Structure 1
Amino acid sequence: MLQNENIYLFLLILPIVSFLYSSVGHGGASGYLALMALFSFVPESMKPTALLLNIFVAGISFYYYYKAGFFNKKLFIIFAITSIPLAFIGGRLEVDASLYNKVLAVLLIFAILKMLNVFGKERETIKKVKLWQGLIIGGIIGFFSGLIGIGGGIILTPVILLLHWGKMKEAAAVSALFIWVNSASGLIGQLSSGITIEKESFLLVAVALVGGVFGGYYGSKKINNKKLRYILAFVLIIACGKLFFT
């Protein structure tokens, strides 16, 4: 992994990605996967590495949002009941490389729209999530989280906002823990199927945590850096195009 000829540039961009994702309550797996795709990382290492990074960065982000009082326990549980076991199942499955790239590219569209604040508008009126809605949505997101190697927050946050089930920071807090449990479950599923984590991945964790700590802290307070979000959205668009045509 560290033999990549552009590894230093990758390590420079990585904490920026984790900072931006953590600031909105996300672990950043879709961003990490996009970066790894751009830098031509070996596909076999991408999925477990992204989930490992997610666990640490989403955990930090959740800590700050929880500490700031934005966590809605009931809203989290209704999604997590089905997402955790299905993320484990998805993590155990192997996907054809071409199909994997296409599915990841589609999911990156959610990340791009989120970074462009398409889903960033709040509504004063909050609706209650029905049990069957939470179970179905949580299960579907959880399965694809484990299958592709993301935490699912990049999909859950827009859903919460679009259906008026919570406000922005509340959605961020719920998504952060949702990402953590799905990433852990998906990674356990992968490890149980014989996949191993490269030692170099823990160096990436240390680098990503730098951005994750600052992003979680400032995101739970008041930061909203539009220029950096637009830059990241541009990077994701390039990665999305590469994945679609490879």
Structure 2
Amino acid sequence: MGESMILYLALAIASAAALYSSVGHGGASAYIALMALAGLAPDDVRPAALVLNIVVAGLGAFRFIRAGRFDWRVFWPFAIAAIPAAFLAGRIDVPEHIYRPLLAFALAAAALRYLVWPQIDAVKPSAPPSPLVALPVGAALGALAGLTGIGGGVYLSPLLVFAGWADPQRATGIAACFIVVNSLAGLAGRASLFATLPSFLPWLVGAASIGALIGTTWSLRGLNQAGVLRVLGLVLGIAAAALIA
């Protein structure tokens, strides 16, 4: 890949990281689409996207936890079930024509809700789910994350808000932490692909880090609960389009 293409890819990844990190997401679905458009081989794309996901979500998790946008009672049952599921599912190759349309439809439906009616979920009360509910849901989300090569926050955060398990702002921190642990587990499940990571990945990591700093700062200083949901709707819509493409 030429230097100019690497520069364009880094700028695009920085922009995606800024948008996704503002709602606690890592952006793996966008990175996968961008790297595929840039001509990277499929085996190079998923592990590289997971690395970028960990960097962006990790920075977001750190900043959102410090700002009080986190709830351990909600996080732990989802995470403890998702980690082994993401690791095991990360070792399975599932035909893309099976899972992509289903996930795209679900994400598009959530995107429409939060773009058009964000006020519905911005004001309703929230309470942590029972572990009897959260554990199997976490396992399912972890398996989805491992199969699709992304961290799973794009599935978790709309579910947290829709089900009333967390308010939109705390959902950002919970989703960011969930993405970190799932991406690490999924990357471990695909350890054999480490050798295929592109040599210019450090440039992409630097660009994603800058984007994440911008996105999380915007979220912490400028987004109220309805604003978080509107941006979340935009992010989900982009993720749905990336899955269809």
Give the TM bin, normalised by the shorter chain. 0.7 to 0.9
| Residue identity matched to 1:180 | V
Residue number in structure 1 paired with 2:28: 29
RMSD after superposition: 3.0
State the match for 1:239 in structure 2: 242
Does the C-alpha gap of structure 1 residues 94 and 58 become closer, same or farther in structure 2, counting only changes over 3 Å?
same
Name the counterpart of 1:130: 130
Secondary structure class of the residue paired with 1:195: helix
Determine the structure 2 residue equivalent to 1:142: 142
Distance between the aligned counterparts of 1:39 and 1:239, measured in 2? Answer: 14
Q: 1:111 to 1:92 in 2, by over 3 A?
A: farther
Which whole-Å CA distance do the structure 1 matches of 2:58 and 2:166 have between them?
20
Question: Who is 1:199 aligned against?
Answer: 199
74-83 or 194-203, which deviates more: 194-203
Return 9-18 or 161-170, whichever deviates more: 9-18
1:59 is the counterpart of 2:58: yes
For structure 2, the residue ranges without an aligned partner over 5 or more in a row are: none
1:163 aligns to 2:163 (yes or no): yes
Encode CA deviations 1:177-215: one digit per residue, 9 max, x unaligned: 000000011101110xx2123332222111111101121
SS at match of 2:122: coil
Identity rate, percent: 33
Which residue of the partner structure matches residue 9 of structure 1? 8
1:49-88 superposed matches below 5 A: 49-88=48-87
Pick the structure with more helix per residue.
Answer: 2
Deviations 1:1-42 (A, max 9, x none): x34984443222211110011111111112212223343432
CA deviation profile, 1:125-155 (whole Å, cap 9, x unmatched): 2233011210111101101111111111111
What whole-Å deviation, never above 9, does each CA across 1:40-65 have from its counterpart, x for those lacking one? 43211111111100100001111111
Mapped pair 1:212 → 2:212? yes
- Aligned 1:179-194 pairs, distance under 5 A: 179-191=179-191, 194=192
Greater Cα shift, 53-62 or 8-17: 8-17
Q: Which moved more, 1:96-105 or 1:143-152?
A: 96-105
Q: d(CA) in 2 for partners of 1:67 and 1:103?
A: 36
Identify which range, 144-153 or 220-229, moves more after superposition: 220-229
Residue matched to 2:46: 47
Question: 2-side partners of 1:231 and 1:72: how far apart?
Answer: 24
Instruction: Tell me the CA shift for residue 99 of structure 1.
Output: 4.3
Contact 1:21–1:215 (8 Å) recurs in 2 = yes
Q: 1:26 aligns to what SS in structure 2?
A: coil
Do the aligned partners of 1:116 and 1:233 also contact (CA within 8 Å) in 2? Answer: no
Question: In the alignment, which residue of structure 2 is the partner of 1:176?
Answer: 176
Q: CA deviation at 1:101?
A: 5.0
The aligned amino acid for 1:91 is G
Going from structure 1 to structure 2, the CA distance change for 1:230 and 1:112 (only over 3 Å counts) comes to: closer
SS at match of 1:24: coil
Asked if the contact 2:17–2:26 (Cα under 8 Å) also holds between the matched residues in 1, the reply is yes
3-state DSSP class of the match of 2:40? coil
